[in-house]
Structure 1
Amino acid sequence: MATLTLKSTGAASAETDGGSVERPQTGANIPEWAKDAVWYQIFPERFRNADPDNDPVPERIGDPHSWDLGAPEGWEISPWTGDWYQRADWEQRVGTDFYDFVFTRRYGGDLQGVIDKLDYLDTLGVTAIYLNPVFDAVSLHKYDASHFHHIDRHFGPDPEGDIEIMEQENPSDPDTWQWTSADKLFLELLDEARKRDIRVIIDGVWNHVGRDFWAFRDIREHGRDSEFLDWFKITDFGDEYEDGFDYEGWWGYMGLPEFAEDGENLHPEVKQHIFDVTKRWMAPDGDAGSGIDGWRLDMATELGKEFWEEWHELVYDLNPEALTIAEIWGDEARDFIADDLFGVVMNYRWAYATHAFLIQQSMTASEFADRLADLRNDFDERTNMAMQNILDGHDTERLASMIVNDEYAYKGGMDDEEQSKIRDIYNTYEVRAPDDEEKKRHRLVALFQFAYTGAPMIYYGTEAGMWGADDPDDRKPMVWPDMEYDDEINHPYSRQRPRDSVAFDHDMYSWYAKLAGIRGKRDALRTGRFRLIKADDDARVLAFKRYTDDDFAIVVINRGSETYSFDFSSGDVTDLPRRVFDRVSGKRIISRQNKFNVDVPPVSGMIITP
C-alpha cells in the first residue's frame, strides 16, 4: 500500500517500492467559488416539512442499529414543534430508555422544504449548501442507501408513483434508469439554488449501503445464485444465519453491509455502478450545468487511494469547477489532499483547537497560535482558504451545548476510553438552553470562525440558537420563526432540568448574517494571507492580520475576563490610513502619532479594516 508523506515544499509524494513519486498538492483542484464560500449544512429529514402528503410510512422505517424494516406498533410522525424529550405513547411502549426509540422517529423534512427556505439562506449570506445524504434509504440519516441513483422517495411529491418507476428499472443497467418525481424535485432545487448563486454539494457514501440496497436484497432473495454475490463481503453461508449467509458490516453494524474491495480499489462492478451514479448527479442527461457542484465523501480513509484517484479523474473531467470534501477527523487529512485527490477536508482538526482555546480553555493563546500555524503549514495557501471550517455538525454536539458543557473535550478529540464512557457523560450532560453569557461566548466563537483562514460552515439551526447533545440530540427539527414550539421540560434520564422556551433566536441569526456580510465584502477575510500579531497567554487574547495586496483586516479575539487595551501601528499594516473601522461595533478608530489603541471588552472581538 502506498503511503503519503508531506514535503516541506507543500507537495505530497507517494512512496512506493520504486522510490518517491511526486503527487502535487498545489490547490489546483480548488475552484474559485470554494474560497469565497459560506457553507450551510442541511440534514434534510429535520430541516423543513413543506409537504405532509409525502411523509414516511411505517413500513419504510428502518435503522442501522436494527435488523429489518418496520416501525413499532402505533408509530406515527412526530410533531415538529414538540418537546424533543417528550415520549409519545408508542415510544413509551418500546422501552424506558429514550435512546432506544428515538432513531425510529420521523418528522417529514423534504426537498420542498429546502427549496422554500433558499431565500432564508440567501439572506443569511450562505453561498454553498452541503446536504447530508438524499439518496433513497430507510433511515432518518440516509447513510444506508437503498438506491444511489434515486433521491429518497419521501423527499419528493409522489412516493407511490416513484415506487412504480423504480420497479420498471434494472438497477444494474443505467440505460433503464428513469427520473422519479423526487429526482426531478432535486434537480429543481439545484436550479433554484443556482438562481441565487448558491452552490450545492451532496453526501457520497461509497464503502457501505443498507440491507435494503437493491443488490444486497438480491443476495437475500437468491443466495448463492445472486449475480451480485461478489459485490459484498460475504463470509459464510449456512442455515444458522437469518439471511442464510454471514457478511461484514461497517464497524460491525450489520445494518450497513460493506462493499467488496479489490486491493486499494472497489470491486470493478461496484466501482462502475458508483461511476454511473456520479455521472447521473454531476451531469444529468449529460448536462454538467444542471448537476451538483461537488461531493462530501463519508469515511474517506476507508477506501483506497487507487479508487479515489480514478473517481476524482471522473469528477474533474465532468466538472473542472467541482469541489470534493473528505470527512477525515485526524492527521490522515494530510494524506488525502492532493491535486488528483480531494480538494479539502472537513476541518475537524481546526475545530479541536478552536474548542480547546475558546470553549474549554485548555489551550493558551500561544499554544493555539502554534497549532493553527501547524495546520496551515500542512497545505498550500489556496487549499487553506477553502478548508471547510466546521464547529458543529450531525456528528458532534451543537455549538451552544458545547459551550454550556465546556468542561468536556470536543467529541472528535476523545480517545477510545472516553468514547466508551459517552453514555455516562450524557447522564450528567446539561441539556438546557444557553444563558446570556454563554450566548456571548457563542458569538465570539462564530466571529473567529468567519474571520479566520478557511470557509466557515454553519450547521442548520446553529444560527437560530438551537442546542443539543451529540447524535441524536443534535438532529432536532429546525426551529423556525413562523412556528410555536413546546417548552423543553423533559430530560432523557428523567433528571431535573429548567423549563426552556424553544424559539427562533433572531439576535443570533442577525449576528451570523452580519458576520457573513462582513466576510463577503472584504477580500482580506475571504482570500487574504495570515500573519500573527499577538498571542497573550495571560490575557487570553489572540490578534492577527488577514491581508491581500489591496485590503487588510486586523482581527482581535479577547477570550479573557477583562477589557484588553490593544495597540497597533503601521508596523502591523503597511500604508495604514489615519482612520480605520471596527466592522463589529461600527465604530471609527482614529490614529494618534501613527498608532492606534482600542479597548476590546471581555469575551468579544473586533474586525478592523480600512
Structure 2
Amino acid sequence: MKKHILIIVIIVLSIMLFSRNVTIYYTQAASSVYILGDFTDFKPVSMDKSNTGIWKKVFNLNEGKYKYLFLVDNEKILDYKNPNTIYYNGELYSVLTVESEETYIPSINDGIIGVVKHNVERKFINPVKPGEIYLSLEVQKNDVQDVIFIGNGKMLKKEKLIYDNSEMYRFHIFTPSNILKYKFLIKDGKISLEYPENYYFEFDFDKPIIKYLNVPEWSKGRIYYQIFPERFRNGDKNNDPKYTNNWYGPYTSSSLGSNGFYGGDLEGVIKSIDYLKDLGIEAIYFNPIFESVSSHKYDTKDYLKIDPHFGDEKTFEKLINELKENNIKIVLDGVFNHSGDEFFAMQDIFRNQKNSKYLNWYFIKKFPVTKSADSYLSWWGYADLPKLNVDYYGVKAYISSVIGKWMEYGIDGWRLDAADQVKESFWEKFFYPLVKGINNKAIISGEYWKDSTRFFEYPAFDTVMNYLFRDATLGYAKGGSASNFVRNTNSYLEKYPPQVLNSLWNMLDSHDTSRVLTELNGDINKLKIAVGIQMTFVGAPVIYYGDEIGLDGGKDPWCRKPFPWDKEFWNMDIYNYYKKMIKLRKEHEALRYGEYEVLKTKLGALVYKRYTDTDEVIVITNSRKIPVKLNMKLNGKYIDFFTGNEVNSIDKISGLSIQILIRQ
C-alpha cells in the first residue's frame, strides 16, 4: 500500500514540476470553434470567445509534442499560424511543442546557438536534378546573426524564411560534381560554429537519398484554360446525345446535372482554337473525355475509348495536332480512384458475382453484389462510382495501358481526380515513375484542396490545383485584409518546394465551385482585383471556361452552364480585361517566373512586386471601398499599365481598385 502511495506522489510531483499552462488561440472570425488533439483524446473541446472576438483555451501540458486541429464551424482546419505539421492516421495535424520554463530563450549576439536542424527530408535536402539542389538549415527564431553555405558548389540564391518559432536559411546550389560536399557556418556574436563541426555532409547525385523533383520547365507561369467538354462548344451535331437541351436555356438543376446533355464535343474545341489563341491561352486542362453515361464523365465506362458524343480517336488526334501547331499544351483528367458502375470489371461482378475474376478490382462488402453502396466501397457513397483497388496488379496493369495509350498521342500531362482518396504510395511508387518514364516533361497535377506539402516529399505530383490560392484571393477580394492575404499565401509559398511554386495551378473557380463572378456577388471591380492578382502572382493561372466573358453560376451544377458563343451574352468589359491581363503576363518574365516581394500591407491595401534582373512589375490593390494613404516613394521610373502615365510615388490607392506599374 505504501509503495502505491509513493508512486502516486511521484506522479503528482512530476506533473507539478514539468507541466505548464499553455494557451492556444484562434483569431479568425467564426460562429463556433473547438479544438481536438491527443491532449483531448481527439474529442472536440469548446474554446472560449473573448470580447475582442479571439478564441482561446488553456491546457495544462507536460513537456513534449502534441497533435491538434481546430473544428471551425464544423470544418476541421490546421492552425494557420503554426508552420509545424505532421501526417497522422490519415490526416494532417498541427504540432505544438511544449518546453519547460527553463528552456533557453534565443537572443542574437549572445554567443549561444540553440536548436539546429538539417534532416533527411525535402524540407532540408531538396534535389531538383543532377547538379541542382536546395539545402536548408533551420535555427530558432532570433537566435543567430547569419548562416553561410560552405561547399563545392556555386550558390545561386540565399534566402531567409521566418516562421513563428524558427528561421530557415535556404540555399539554391549548382555544382558540376557528382558528390556535393557541404556544411554550414553559423554566426552569432563572437561565435562562428561549423555545422557539422569535423566533417562535411555529402549528397551523391548518382544515388540521391531523396528523389529528384524536377517540375517541367514549360509549366512555369503558363496560362491554362479549363474546358468542361460537354458544355464548351457543339462542333458536330451528328454525335449529339439523343436528348439534347437548348444551348441557351432555360437552365434547370436537372438539365445542367449529370443526366443533362447539351452536345459539347472535341470538334467544338477544334473550332475554338483561334478564339483560345487570340485570348492568349497556352495550355488546356480537359475534364474527363473518356466514355461514360453521364455529362460530367467522372463515372468512366471505358478508359481506352473517347466518349462517342465527344468524337472518336481521329477527332482526338486532330485536336492534339492542331493544338500542338499552336503551341498549346494538353492535360487530361485521370479518374483512377473509382470507375463507373458500367465499367467492364464491375459489370462482370454484377453478372458472375462470387465467380467473377474481377472481385479484387474493387472492395466488395457482401453478396449478392447489387448497385448499392452497401455492396461495395464507392466515392462518397455514390453507387455508380465504385472505388478501385489500385493496389491490385490487374488494376495497375489496366491503368498502365491507359496511360501508355493516351501519352502515345502526345498529351502533356495528367490532372488526377480525388488524389487524396488514393493511397499516396500508388502515386509515388507507381503512377509518378510510370508517367515520367514515358515522358519526363509531362506534368502531373493532383486535385487536393488543402496544404499539399506531403505530395511533394517523395514526390507524388509536380503541382496541385491550388485551392489555397483561390481561398486567399477571394477572401481578399471580398474585402479581406491585405495582411491576411499575405499570411494565407505565405503559408504555402514558404512551405512548398521552391521548384514547384511557379507551376502551381492558381484557379479562382472550377467545375466543383461557384463561378468567381457569382462568388463576388457580380461585383466587377472585385473581379478585376481577383483576376489581376491571379495574372500577376506566383504560379500558373487557370481560367475556367467562360469566366473571361462573365459567365456566372452557383455551385455544381450551376457552374457548368454552356459557353454562350453569341457575343450578345458576353460582358465585354470583363473579356477585354482578361485579354489585357493575359497579354501583360505573357510580355513580362517577372510575372511568369520572377521573384515575389511584399512591399506594403495596410488595411485593404496590398502592394507587391515581381521582378527579375531585367524586369519589374509592381501591383497595388485595395480590397475595400475606403481609399488608403500609402505615401510610398518609388526608386526609379514607372509607367501605369492602365493609363500610360509616368508614376514616381504611390500616395494613395482608391477603393476597390487595382493599379499596375511597370519599371522602365
Q: Shift in Å at residue 367 of structure 1?
A: 2.1
Distance 1:10 1:586, change over 3 A: farther
Q: Give yes or no for the alignment of 1:324 onto 2:410.
A: no
Q: Shift in Å at residue 221 of structure 1?
A: 2.2
In the alignment, which residue of structure 2 is the partner of 1:73?
none
Equivalent position SS for 1:237: coil
Q: Please point out which of 599, 602, 607 is paired with 1:536.
A: 602
Q: For the residues of structure 2 that align with 1:101 and 1:346, how far apart are their CA atoms? A: 24
Q: For the residues of structure 2 that align with 1:148 and 1:344, how far apart are their CA atoms? A: 23
2:256–2:560 CA contact under 8 A, matched in 1 = no
Q: Give yes or no for the alignment of 1:273 onto 2:398.
A: yes
Distance 1:101 1:305, change over 3 A: closer
Distance 1:49 1:565, change over 3 A: same
Code of the aligned partner of 1:545: K
Q: Shift in Å at residue 10 of structure 1?
A: 7.1
Equivalent position SS for 2:375: strand
Q: Shift in Å at residue 8 of structure 1?
A: 4.6
Q: Deviations over 1:515-546 (max 9, x none)?
A: 01000011111111111100102xx1000111
After the TM superposition, which residues 413-492 of structure 1 pair with which residues of structure 2 at under 5 Å, given as runs?
A: 434=522, 438-481=523-566
In the alignment, which residue of structure 2 is the partner of 1:43?
228
Equivalent position SS for 1:458: strand
Q: Give yes or no for the alignment of 1:251 onto 2:380.
A: yes
Q: Deviations over 1:56-114 (max 9, x none)?
A: 13xxxxxxxxxxxxxxxxxx3100012224xxxxxxxxxxxx55984321001000001
Q: Give yes or no for the alignment of 1:521 onto 2:587.
A: yes
Code of the aligned partner of 1:52: K
**TM-score, structure 2 length as denominator?**
0.67
| Structure having the larger proportion of residues in strand | 2
In the alignment, which residue of structure 1 is the partner of 2:240?
55
Higher relative contact order (CA 8 A, sep 6+): 1
Q: For the residues of structure 1 that align with 2:286 and 2:602, how far apart are their CA atoms? A: 39
Q: Shift in Å at residue 588 of structure 1?
A: 2.5
Q: For the residues of structure 2 that align with 1:2 and 1:534, how far apart are their CA atoms? A: 34
Q: Give yes or no for the alignment of 1:547 onto 2:632.
A: no
1:10–1:378 CA contact under 8 A, matched in 2 = no
After the TM superposition, which residues 110-189 of structure 1 pair with which residues of structure 2 at under 5 Å, given as runs?
A: 110-156=265-311, 182-189=312-319
Q: Shift in Å at residue 324 of structure 1?
A: 0.7
Q: For the residues of structure 2 that align with 1:125 and 1:242, how far apart are their CA atoms? A: 45
2:419–2:446 CA contact under 8 A, matched in 1 = yes
Q: Please point out which of 264, 281, 292 is paired with 2:411.
A: 292
1:236–1:247 CA contact under 8 A, matched in 2 = yes
After the TM superposition, which residues 175-324 of structure 1 pair with which residues of structure 2 at under 5 Å, given as runs?
A: 182-238=312-368, 241=370, 246-261=375-390, 266-284=391-409, 291-309=410-428, 310-324=430-444
Q: Shift in Å at residue 552 of structure 1?
A: 1.1
Code of the aligned partner of 2:602: D
Distance 1:124 1:449, change over 3 A: same
Distance 1:193 1:338, change over 3 A: farther
Q: Shift in Å at residue 597 of structure 1?
A: 3.3
Q: Deviations over 1:394-426 (max 9, x none)?
A: 00000111011xxxxxxxxxxxxxxxxxxxxxx
Q: For the residues of structure 2 that align with 1:526 and 1:329, how far apart are their CA atoms? A: 23
Q: Shift in Å at residue 355 of structure 1?
A: 1.7
In the alignment, which residue of structure 1 is the partner of 2:655?
602
Distance 1:107 1:99, change over 3 A: closer
Distance 1:336 1:22, change over 3 A: farther
Could you tell me which runs of 5 or more consecutive residues in structure 2 were left unpaired when the two chains were aligned: 1-85, 94-120, 128-206
Distance 1:100 1:235, change over 3 A: farther
Q: Give yes or no for the alignment of 1:561 onto 2:603.
A: no
Q: Shift in Å at residue 343 of structure 1?
A: 0.5
Q: Give yes or no for the alignment of 1:343 onto 2:462.
A: yes
1:42–1:129 CA contact under 8 A, matched in 2 = yes
Q: For the residues of structure 2 that align with 1:381 and 1:242, how far apart are their CA atoms? A: 46
Bigger radius of gyration? 2
Code of the aligned partner of 1:271: K
Q: For the residues of structure 1 that align with 2:295 and 2:513, how far apart are their CA atoms? A: 17
How many aligned positions are there? 469
Q: Shift in Å at residue 237 of structure 1?
A: 1.3
1:23–1:338 CA contact under 8 A, matched in 2 = no
Could you tell me which runs of 5 or more consecutive residues in structure 1 were left unpaired when the two chains were aligned: 13-20, 58-75, 86-97, 157-181, 285-290, 405-433, 485-502, 571-575
After the TM superposition, which residues 16-27 of structure 1 pair with which residues of structure 2 at under 5 Å, given as runs?
A: 24=210
Q: For the residues of structure 2 that align with 1:439 and 1:150, how far apart are their CA atoms? A: 41
Q: Please point out which of 244, 248, 259 is paired with 1:81.
A: 248
Code of the aligned partner of 1:258: K
